[in-house]
Structure 1
């Protein structure tokens, strides 16, 4: 559908995904169809089963090739995925890297005159870094270093991937699954909407400074996105599920544990969001969190909810948790970092985990 308001539609942190098929559904709790309705309307059941998958590094040889590809030097040079469109337009990756620091890193606010605008490019630095949190986590912050440790420091990690011949970074989290192999991330960290699938996809849980990977590196076996994301980049479905290979014979869930995941949850309430933002004023080397109350999309262009958060590109796909216990670092994933509106750099939006995401997860956990 075309947009009917002068306000911009949501822009995913993957630059250039225009996503014309925004639903713009009215806010409210999404209810699962009762069995009688499903039986009477098989088309609805088929729509919920609309999952697109891609086989990644399935064999041991393929997995070894991917692991060998990600040298420490390549990981250090990987770009936030929001720069993908510039790479595909022919901009040199070295020039982009140099543009992330110093005066070259200050970019004008994207043009708001029409369509969707990318917010993931380097933006004005927001004063001196203030991202060192206290030992006791805040329940309201738009961006602080997570130094408390706990379960979330292991289950959250960085994603490294290749698209259009260039290397990029995102964030992801393990989730409790039947095969003990599933991580959840943003759809644009898995597939370039209607474009190509990511290659060399690797998850590094508990990523540390100086490129440390204390719990191993896990290559993707199979990648999954919802059909509306694969066909048109619909921001309501910007979710990817990835079934990982084992690392040194261990499933990722056995190595670092998992977080719970829930679907069709009540809207609003308190949430904590986590990720590894890599654009200034962040550098991608530390786990960062935001915390606050969720709110509906003020422009009604998506069913997404917003969280006060100044995390930048690289945080894409990082988990949002409700019922989160800062003491243990455990919670329930109900969304993830997806996009920002260009007139509000301090609010991140995440997709609502309804029936379509539930089906996506069910497919991945049995892969």
Structure 2
């Protein structure tokens, strides 16, 4: 690894790669714990599906875990960062055999083989989106209701990341970073995963959506390959916690159903094989400290940065085909937030062409100066198509 790479790569939630950090996560064969999801759209072997909460009892347990009191303090949980390599108990032979099922795309340089799904507007009225000035790493010009936070648990520790709703046949699909939904150390998906779109300081104006099924690329799940640090999560119909007072003024909460995600907030489009050089807007909820220790972000406000992407590589993270936006100082918490091309700030919609994955500190000035995403190609399309075919109720 070159000296420049040693000091520049930091996972978008906070690892500073001053030493050697080898990540690991994924295999083409089904990983331990991978659960087939009924007969539906056939998917390549490198597309893995993992159950999150399927039965009504499992969904009820996740909902009960994220009661209003816990949600209000959730911003104090640590943002999720990139994972270290698996614990060594996983099959490297299986990982190698799977890698052959997902060859590197040849379209990255030219943008050949482009494929696009158009965005969808919400079919129900909802709260007015927030507004702010458009600036690099500043408040989003039009804070889209599709973007929000995901909250989850790994063991006894709660975490959070950023994410966005994506247009899908099941009208119930969320895109985020794979490290925000799958724990490579245990080789299992995270627990108690929920999505809160249009997040507002602990409030849930457009509902809470419990994860039903996670779809990831096996190269991430077994090898920690950050060329595939993306995930799609099919979610259950949403609900809200509605406060109510009894005769003595004591406040309690009741669950109120709100319907499907896309009906409430719409969904970003998605596009793949756009080439290494595109104009993109990145969105997310950064919160962690900069490399120098300053904390310019609090994780409560949706932020944006934009620019023309370029190709980047980082051997430490097995990243061979990443794309990056220069001049973006996002920190921990922005992981999983969307990269949108052809973004319309007046409508808050565009086409998903990446996600916040890794942050970079190229210049030793105490702050991050670049973010990167895996390159969206035919493998991303396969994962998306599998996820949008999952019926969630």
TM-score, L = length of structure 1: 0.72
2:376 and 2:349 mapped to 1: Cα distance? Answer: 18
Are 1:338 and 2:357 counterparts? yes
Alignment of 1:254-269 (within 5 A): 254-269=263-278
What is the aligned counterpart of 1:272 among 277, 281, 295? 281
Q: Displacement, 1:325?
A: 1.4
Are 1:357 and 2:380 counterparts? yes
1:171-221, Cα deviation, whole Å (9 max, x unpaired): 110111111111100000011235331100000000012x11100000000
What is the aligned counterpart of 2:50 among 47, 51, 54? 54
1:71 and 1:189 mapped to 2: Cα distance? Answer: 21
Q: Displacement, 1:82?
A: 2.4
**Higher share in helix:** 1
1:155 and 1:201 mapped to 2: Cα distance? Answer: 17
SS at match of 2:264: helix
Are 1:170 and 2:161 counterparts? yes
Aligned residue pairs, count: 288
Alignment of 1:65-80 (within 5 A): 65-75=61-71, 76=73, 77-80=76-79
2:359 and 2:301 mapped to 1: Cα distance? Answer: 21
1:166 and 1:21 mapped to 2: Cα distance? Answer: 20
2:199 aligned partner: 207
68-77 or 167-176: bigger deviation: 68-77
2:362 and 2:54 mapped to 1: Cα distance? Answer: 42
1:129-149, Cα deviation, whole Å (9 max, x unpaired): xxxx995524xx1x1122x43
Alignment of 1:150-299 (within 5 A): 152-193=143-184, 195=186, 196-209=188-201, 211-247=202-238, 248=257, 250-279=259-288, 280-297=295-312
Pair 1:177–1:310, CA change in 2 (3 A): same
Q: Displacement, 1:256?
A: 0.6
SS at match of 1:302: strand
Q: Is the 8 A contact 2:13 2:331 kept in 1?
A: no
Q: Displacement, 1:342?
A: 4.4
SS at match of 1:294: strand
SS at match of 1:188: helix
Pair 1:80–1:20, CA change in 2 (3 A): closer
2:322 aligned partner: 304
Q: Displacement, 1:47?
A: 9.8
Pair 1:286–1:136, CA change in 2 (3 A): closer
2:222 and 2:185 mapped to 1: Cα distance? Answer: 5
Pair 1:49–1:284, CA change in 2 (3 A): same
Q: Is the 8 A contact 1:57 1:221 kept in 2?
A: yes
SS at match of 1:153: coil
Q: Displacement, 1:15?
A: 6.6
Pair 1:231–1:289, CA change in 2 (3 A): same
Q: Displacement, 1:311?
A: 1.4
In structure 1, list runs of 5 or more residues that go unmatched: 23-45, 89-132
1:234-279, Cα deviation, whole Å (9 max, x unpaired): 0100001100000125110001101100111122121100011122
Q: Is the 8 A contact 2:361 2:370 kept in 1?
A: no
Pair 1:221–1:302, CA change in 2 (3 A): same
Q: Displacement, 1:310?
A: 1.1
297-306 or 234-243: bigger deviation: 297-306
TM-score, L = length of structure 2: 0.67
Pair 1:238–1:84, CA change in 2 (3 A): closer
1:63 aligned partner: 59
Q: Is the 8 A contact 2:144 2:198 kept in 1?
A: yes
1:135 and 1:72 mapped to 2: Cα distance? Answer: 27
Pair 1:135–1:53, CA change in 2 (3 A): closer
